[in-house]
Every structure is written in C-alpha cells, then in structure tokens.
C-alpha cells in the first residue's frame, strides 16, 4: 500500500505564518507536522509516499528531499499555482498512486494515531474508510455519524473527519484532472453504505488557527 499526504493548501487561517511557510512545514514538537506523518508512515511499514504540491510547493521537496531520511521513497504531484482541492489533487496523483487501496493523510493535522493500526485493505465493496474524531469545542457542527462501523449522515452529526483515511481509486472513476471536491463522491459512497469508519479517541487537532497552534506548541514545543 502507498500513502498520500495532502500538502497543497494555502493554510489561510494561519496567515501571516503561512504566507512564507507551507502549513505542513509548521513545526510542532521539534519537527514539521508533515515529518511526524512521514515517521508514522515508515513505522507502519509503508515505503512509498506521494505528496501533492501547491502553495509554496517547492519548499516542501527542499525540506523533505526524496524521503530517504525516513527510509521512504517520495514522489511529488505538482498541482501548480492553483491547488486542485482534494478531488482534483487525488485525480492528478492517481498515476503515481496506482490501482490499489491507498492511505490518505492531511499533511497539516496533529494526531497521536498509531498508523500501524490502520488497516491495509478495505472490505471488498467499500470505497473508503474514514477516521473520525469527537466534535471539538471550536467546531459548531460535525461532519458525519458512525453506526456499527459504518459512516452515515445525520441531522446533527457528532463526529469530525480526522483527515486520515483509506481510499479505493474507484471512487475517482471518470474524474478529470481539474479543481473539484471529493465530498460529493464520498457522500454518494456513504449513501450506498460503502464507507467504513473508525472513531479515534486520542489527541487530534487541525492546527487551524494561530491560537490552537500556540496551544499545541506550548504543550509539545515548537
């Protein structure tokens, strides 16, 4: 299985810091957020990683190189000056990801999940497996519900997507390389009962504001 790290976004809520530093390169606990993910991916026995690039893209390969520092092989999927959103970014990266199930990680989240516990495959009919977290205080609405290991939608969903998932490439069947959200395709899969879910009860934050970044750095260091 390969892993893909999403690293193309602007990180607008962390400006002015992200005007000169891609959000995945923001440091927490002595290393960039994305490096924590690379270490966990390597520890899980995955060796091939794809990272998409957009905003300040060249700075990421300059910092990470070819991945050999972690025993990994990194390929970069450059989206140019205008990021393609998650759907378009995945479609653009598919030639590098291949035809097998892949792990997807948001490059800018802070999470203590042990990646070696993530399944390496999906159930035959499933198109995705999403990790969810309890709705944080700073979020006024969740994304999804979870019923007997299946992701569902409801009027008042209690869980937030954690930015960690497994995807089957078939969820992108017919997709063009253009800017689009993965959400409509994901919701179609959910409505067809083709999305599994796992609730993570540990630490998680999307490091979405300067205040939350400061709180995490105060606890774990910069």
The pLDDT value given to residue 67? 98
Instruction: With a cut of 90, say whether residue 11 has pLDDT above it.
Output: no
The pLDDT value given to residue 4? 98
Say how far apart CA 59 and CA 146 lie, in whole Å.
38
Report residue 172's pLDDT band, with 50, 70 and 90 as the boundaries: very high
Q: What Cα–Cα distance (Å) separates residue 122 from each residue in 83, 128, 168, 183?
A: 28, 7, 8, 19
Instruction: With a cut of 90, say whether residue 71 has pLDDT above it.
Output: yes
Portion of the chain with pLDDT greater than 90, in percent: 81
pTM: 0.95
The pLDDT value given to residue 162? 97
Say how far apart CA 222 and CA 204 lie, in whole Å.
17
Domains defined along the chain, listed by start: 2-220 (3.90.550.10)
Instruction: With a cut of 90, say whether residue 208 has pLDDT above it.
Output: no
**Residue 31: phi, psi to the nearest 5?**
-155, 160
The pLDDT value given to residue 77? 97
**Residue 47: phi, psi to the nearest 5?**
-115, -15
Contact 109, 175 (CB under 8 A): no
Mean pLDDT of 151-158: 94
- CA-based radius of gyration for the chain: 17
Query: In 30-41, which positions are buried (b, 16+ CB within 10 angstroms) versus exposed (e)?
Result: eebbbbbbbbbb
Mean pLDDT of 37-52: 98
Mean pLDDT of 50-71: 96
Instruction: With a cut of 90, say whether residue 152 has pLDDT above it.
Output: yes
Report residue 112's pLDDT band, with 50, 70 and 90 as the boundaries: very high
Question: What does the DSSP 8-state code read for residue 160?
Answer: E
The pLDDT value given to residue 14? 81
Report residue 60's pLDDT band, with 50, 70 and 90 as the boundaries: very high
Least confident of 26-30, 50-54, 58-62, 93-97: 26-30
């Amino acid at each position: 299985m390969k892993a893909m790290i999403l690293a193309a976004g602007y990180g607008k809520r962390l400006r002015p810091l992200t005007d000169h530093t891609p959000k995945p390169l923001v440091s927490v606990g002595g290393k960039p957020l994305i490096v924590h993910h690379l270490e966990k991916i390597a520890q899980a026995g995955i060796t091939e990683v794809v990272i998409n690039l957009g905003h300040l893209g060249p700075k990421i390969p300059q910092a990470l190189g070819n991945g050999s520092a972690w025993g990994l092989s990194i390929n970069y999927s450059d989206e140019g000056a205008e990021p393609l959103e998650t759907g378009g970014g995945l479609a653009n990266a598919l030639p590098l990801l291949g035809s097998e199930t892949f792990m997807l990680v948001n490059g800018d989240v802070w999470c203590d999940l042990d990646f070696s516990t993530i399944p390496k495959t999906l159930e035959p009919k499933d198109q995705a497996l999403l990790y969810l977290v309890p709705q944080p205080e700073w979020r006024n609405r969740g994304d999804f519900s979870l019923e007997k290991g299946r992701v569902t939608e409801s009027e008042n969903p209690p869980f937030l997507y954690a930015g960690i998932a497994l995807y089957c490439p078939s969820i992108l069947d017919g997709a063009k390389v253009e800017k689009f959200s993965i959400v409509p395709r994901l919701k179609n899969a959910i409505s067809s009962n083709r999305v599994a879910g796992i609730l993570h009860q540990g630490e998680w934050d999307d490091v979405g504001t300067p205040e939350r970044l400061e709180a995490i750095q105060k606890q774990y260091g910069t």
